A and B are shown apart, each in its own frame.
Chain A
Amino acid sequence: NAGVTQTPKFQVLKTGQSMTLQCAQDMNHEYMSWYRQDPGMGLRLIHYSVGAGITDQGEVPNGYNVSRSTTEDFPLRLLSAAPSQTSVYFCASGGTGETYGYTFGSGTRLTVV
């Protein structure tokens, strides 16, 4: 049981380049989200999804796009990378009822130069 899988683990981009961070979960969770972690700021919500075909913005959505075509996958797209997007990105999926609560992936460390 893999849980939440993020790829790649590390990435270096040049300013202006685009890329997609991949996230997949095998727990049949309806809820998925993307967070970014910056020193001294905790984790901040970028985008989230409550089910296939449904997405919404979080606290810091600018410069990022998401889509949710299947329950399992929730990719995060950086449209035109900027140095301010240098961060560690975490994907998480959430269960309901007794299993309420998020399971986090191991993260993608992104550097934009």
Chain B
Amino acid sequence: GEDVEQSLFLSVREGDSSVINCTYTDSSSTYLYWYKQEPGAGLQLLTYIFSNMDMKQDQRLTVLLNKKDKHLSLRIADTQTGDSAIYFCAERPGGGSARQLTFGSGTQLTVLP
């Protein structure tokens, strides 16, 4: 079955870059996503990438996709304290309905002043 794995914790200094990594198992995944969840809140879509792309940049966010290794990463440039949150990687498997995403368990990003 589908599985998405992420490291649980990441700590960086304010102003540094953060890199959050994710691996997935479904080779038929069509889209891959990064969501952000702040305490007591729902999930906010940050960005997504189509599986035939290898990079997508959106302001401070850069997504890299290595489809051969089934590895996805999210780089946040100039990380700020407001970026402290849980970041979820998710894939949309090739089968299933359009909104049936498989999420990882999340990476808790802590930004230190």
User: Are the chains A and B members of one assembly?
Assistant: no
Interface residues of chain A, those whose CB is within 8 Å of chain B, are none
